[in-house]
Each structure stands twice: as C-alpha cells, then as structure tokens.
Amino acid sequence: MIIIVNNWKKKLVRLAVAVVIITAFIFTIPVLTGILHKQVPVGGWFHEEHPSGNPMRVEQRNQDSKFDNMLDQFVIKVQDFYYEE
C-alpha cells in the first residue's frame, strides 16, 4: 500500500520549521525567566546545600583584620553600657 502525499516537500519544511521553533522556545524560556528575575539558572542548582534548619548556623570567616577586632570590641562595650542601665 502506497500513500501519496501532495506537496510533501512543503509539508516537510513546515514540520521542520515548527520543530525548530518549539525547541528554541524550550531552551530560551528558562533563560528569559532567569533574566527577568535577575537569576539565570545554572547547571547543578538542585545539588546546592540546603539550610539545615539550625538558626545558630553561621558561616566561618577569618577575623584577622584590625577593623573586625575594633568593631567587635565596640559592640561589646555598647552591650555592656546598655546592660548596666
């Protein structure tokens, strides 16, 4: 059994164009939504570290600078001042 399709070249070109447009939208929609929200999705974003739920969790950083030490001393003095009253 042979099926004869009229204008098969034109129909094949339309199908190819439709497939190209659909794949273009599939790949550009996440990028466009990321640009609109100023966060472009990157690979591996599901594997990021999630919060543990511990409110006392803080990041470790070096406090070797003189400014950080002076600021810590100032905060301690201000706390002591308000606790005395």
Give CA–CA dist 81/68, Å, rounded: 20
Q: Which of 51, 34, 52 is nearest to 43 (CA)?
A: 34
Which residues, 6+ apart, have CB-to-CB distance to 40 below 8 Å?
31, 34
Q: Which pLDDT tens digit goes with each residue over 9-48?
A: 898 999 999 999 999 999 998 888 877 776 655 666 556 5
pLDDT in tens, 46-77: 565 666 667 676 666 665 778 888 888 898 88
The Cα 22–Cα 19 span in angstroms is 5
Which one, of 50, 54, 72, 55, lies nearest residue 63 by Cα?
72
**The pTM is what?**
0.38
CA–CA dist 52, 50 (Å, integer) = 6
Residue-range domain boundaries for the chain = 8-39
